[in-house]
Amino acid sequence: MKRDGALESLWQSEIKVYGHENDVNRTHLDVVIVGAGITGVTTALNLQKKGFDCMIIEAANMGHGTTSGTTAHLNTFFDASYDEVIDDFGLDAAKLLALAAGEALEIIHGNVVEFNIDCDYSPRTAYLFSLDEEQEKILDDLVEGSRKAGIEMNETGINPFGIPSTKVVEIPGQAQFHPIKYIKSLMGEYVKDGGRFVEGCRVAGVEKEGDHLVVSTQQGNIVCDHVIYATHLPPGKNIMHFRNAPYRSYVVALKLRDNNYPQALGYDLYEAYHYYRTHVINGEEYLIAGGEDHKTGDIENTNECFERLVNYVGRYFDIERVAYRWSSQFYESADGLPYIGHLPGSPDNVYCATGYTGNGMIFGTLAAKTLSDLVATGDSIYKKLFDPARTKPLASFTNFVKEGADVVKHLLFDRFSVDKIRTLAALENGQGKVVNYEGYSLAVYKDDTGKEHILQSDCTHLHCTVKWNSEEKSWDCPCHGSRFGINGEVLTGPAVKKLKKPLNPE
């Protein structure tokens, strides 16, 4: 199965590409769902169960996006901790969020049972641990907030990961699974009952015509009543692009010499935090560790992130070898909660689901629940909490301002300054770099045979300058997270057009 990066994730090794049909031509559909990750596939199945005639349209293949780059911890606590949610949104909102988290876990477990899905689903206890005084203070606040919201957290003396900690808290009732096996089975159920699924077809946008919607795709237009963007950011230009910031996170799957693989989920409280769990693939057990998050495009030599991660984890575990390593992209919302609901500035009946941070297995499942309820009835108990048009009710938009400022910095700073003239000859094989060359800002990659692939470095979404990602071999846009392959093809939206060749503009 293909993913939107050059490195192979643990989940790709088992699963082949799902079969697809090529025909988008259909007179009138109830719902078009754009994107076949956990959000799109779960939403389509939910809507189909409610009697809607659906089509999933996927630009690449099922699981091409973050769902194959995830680590698939299933948690009832989030990157935005309950104490922060209480401060920013109030206690009632935090309680509703805790209820939603529990419901998402039940939905996933319910699907596993109902469809008899073999996806290595395992209940797990999670452990949050502080490594110093500062982290301990954060942990204390987090535990207090979680308890107020209704999430059970208990102090314990043991850290099953063997990492010396000043305090350890256990959270029962969590879980893990194989994300691609899970969505592949959901897709199987959906297709079996007549659901339509088109792969290799990018959606460019949607417009209202009369009383219906027209979705424009690479393979022609589709008429429907509802459109759900399960794509993180929707294509085109939208307020969501300024309320979400793209980040990359790094993961390694490790073989350990002592074969001591803790059967638990673990997290420290660094900013960015490290996360741990184990999984058996083809009879081999691995420790999966992640972290080293940064704003997309901020680091070009991404090998350094993997090295830092392995060195850090090596302090506590006896690493025999790094079996897999990969990175993937998530989106952080302006206020910590996801945006799930009507897409602001678009016609009625157009929806989005984004800003999941590192909790998209749960929020993707909740998006499916919320959006299918909105389509079916116009309402959902989570409508207000996740409303994409909300303004943060209590606190100021600190992150929003910060991320917004970053976007502006990249727009002005990257395009018109700094990158000094470098000659193409300065590149080694396998390296890429944005260079100024006779007045052009160019994204230049020299492949392993020494052939140069030269593109304009302007992102085709909103014209920020793309940055090289040395390990995933991609050009990543720091503004809104669009990513392109070495020949300019779109790997990740919101861009819908490939990077242009410098002398042959399309």
Ligand X SMILES: Cc1cc2nc3c(=O)[nH]c(=O)nc-3n(C[C@H](O)[C@H](O)[C@H](O)COP(=O)(O)OP(=O)(O)OC[C@H]3O[C@@H](n4cnc5c(N)ncnc54)[C@H](O)[C@@H]3O)c2cc1C
Does residue number 496 form part of the binding site for ligand X (CB under 6 A)?
Answer: yes
Nearest distance, CB of residue 58 and ligand X, angstroms: 5
In our burial notation (b when 16+ CB lie closer than 10 A, e otherwise), range 113-136 reads eebebebbbbebbbbbbbbeeebb
Does residue number 59 form part of the binding site for ligand X (CB under 6 A)?
Answer: yes
Q: Mark residues 220-259: x for contact with ligand X by CB under 6 A, - for none.
A: ----------xxx--x-------------x-x--------
Choices 119-127, 189-197, 327-335, 450-458; region in contact with ligand X by CB under 6 A:
327-335
> What is the distance between the terminal CA atoms of the chain, rounded to a whole angstrom?
30
For ligand X, the closer CB: 232 or 446: 232
Identify residue 482 by its one-letter amino acid code: S
Among 31, 32, 33, 34, which residue interacts with ligand X (rule: CB under 6 A)? Answer: 34
For ligand X, the closer CB: 328 or 370: 328
Nearest distance, CB of residue 329 and ligand X, angstroms: 6
Identify residue 457 by its one-letter amino acid code: S
Does residue number 57 form part of the binding site for ligand X (CB under 6 A)?
Answer: yes
CB atoms within 10 A of CB 412: 11
CA distances to 213, 346, 350, 419, 457 from 476, in Å: 31, 27, 27, 16, 10
Does residue number 493 form part of the binding site for ligand X (CB under 6 A)?
Answer: yes
**Distance from C-alpha of 125 to C-alpha of 33, rounded to nearest angstrom:** 34
Of residues 159 through 178, those in contact with ligand X by CB under 6 A are none
Does residue number 474 form part of the binding site for ligand X (CB under 6 A)?
Answer: no
For ligand X, the closer CB: 454 or 485: 485
Query: Residue 102: which residues within 8 A CB-CB, separation 6 or more?
Result: 76
Nearest distance, CB of residue 202 and ligand X, angstroms: 4
For ligand X, the closer CB: 57 or 213: 57
* Residue whose beta carbon is closest to ligand X: 360
CA-CA-CA-CA torsion for 217, 356, 237, 347, nearest 10 degrees?
Answer: 70
Are the C-beta atoms of residues 352 and 493 closer than 8 Å to each other?
no
Does residue number 128 form part of the binding site for ligand X (CB under 6 A)?
Answer: no
Of residues 334 through 393, those in contact with ligand X by CB under 6 A are 356, 358-362, 364
Q: Mark residues 62-101: x for contact with ligand X by CB under 6 A, - for none.
A: --xxxx-xxxxx----------------------------
Nearest distance, CB of residue 300 and ligand X, angstroms: 18
The number of angstroms, rounded, from the C-alpha of 312 to the middle of its chain's C-alpha atoms is: 24
The DSSP annotation for 6-47 comes to SSPPTTTTT-PPPP-B-----S-EEEEEE--SHHHHHHHHHH
CB atoms within 10 A of CB 56: 27
Which residues make up the interface to ligand X (CB under 6 A)?
Answer: 34-40, 57-60, 64-67, 69-73, 202-203, 230-232, 235, 249, 251, 290, 328-330, 356, 358-362, 364, 493, 496
